[in-house]
Amino acid sequence: LFETKRASLKSVVEAARIFAEMPDPPRICVAGEGPMLSELLEESRQINVASAAGPVLRFIGPIFKPEEMARFYNYSDLVIGSGRGILEAMACGKPVVILGENYEAEVVGPDNIEEIAYYNFSGRHLRARKMPSETLSDLLLRLVKDADQMRQLGEYCLEYIRTKMDARLGAEQLVEVYSKAIERKSVLTDLLAWYIDTMYHS
């Protein structure tokens, strides 16, 4: 919960503020630590006090153990975030929403997964795009009202991890790349060119 993520965290807070006005709202639970935690706790307190349906936003602090994190994902209907957390949630078969560096948010699915993966699930792929027409709250409400889409997205996410992120597949690809490099015959001119380039840039 650091300043660099202020915009994305604030978009989550604003979504909760809208949910607090609903009779049967979705609930948001945020795990993490950092210098913004006390500020966010106070904001969530104000939002929860205003909600007639009970607390809609909770900041629970850090989770350190992988098994506890997996349990946290499994308790969730969907997961919001970026980076490694997105991949972990996908491995649990959860639909995921990736956050950009500002107020952008996007559902992860077959139409955008390659672009998202290219930017290492960081949300940086959203830099060049115009802000999406949906706010985070609208996007989340649309998703949670569509059980079939949620199920299909969760199944897609799990299958993506199984087929694209398997460690054995990655190892096989590395072996193939390095095997080709080893098969290539060494040429003295290549060695000299590499040596000169290395010395020049050192």
Tokens at 53, concatenated: 């349906």
The letter for the amino acid at 43 is: E
Cα–Cα dist 106/132, whole Å:
8
pLDDT digit string, tens, across residues 24-54: 999 999 999 999 999 999 999 999 999 999 9
pLDDT of 202 higher than 60: no
Q: What percent of the chain is predicted at pLDDT more than 90? A: 60
What is the 3-state composition of the chain as percent helix, strand, coil, each rounded to the nearest 5? 55, 10, 35
Q: At what angle do helices 66-75 and 84-91 cross, to 10 degrees?
A: 70
Mean pLDDT on 119-148:
86
Neighbours of 94 (CB within 10 A): 20
Instruction: Give pLDDT, residue 17.
Output: 95
Give, in degrees to the nearest 5, the angle at Cα 104 between 134 and 120.
130
Confidence of residue 118 (pLDDT cuts 50, 70, 90): confident
Comparison of pLDDT for 179 and 5, the residue scoring more? 5
pTM for this prediction: 0.78
- Which strands, in side-by-side order, build the sheet including 79-81? 79-81, 96-99, 105-107
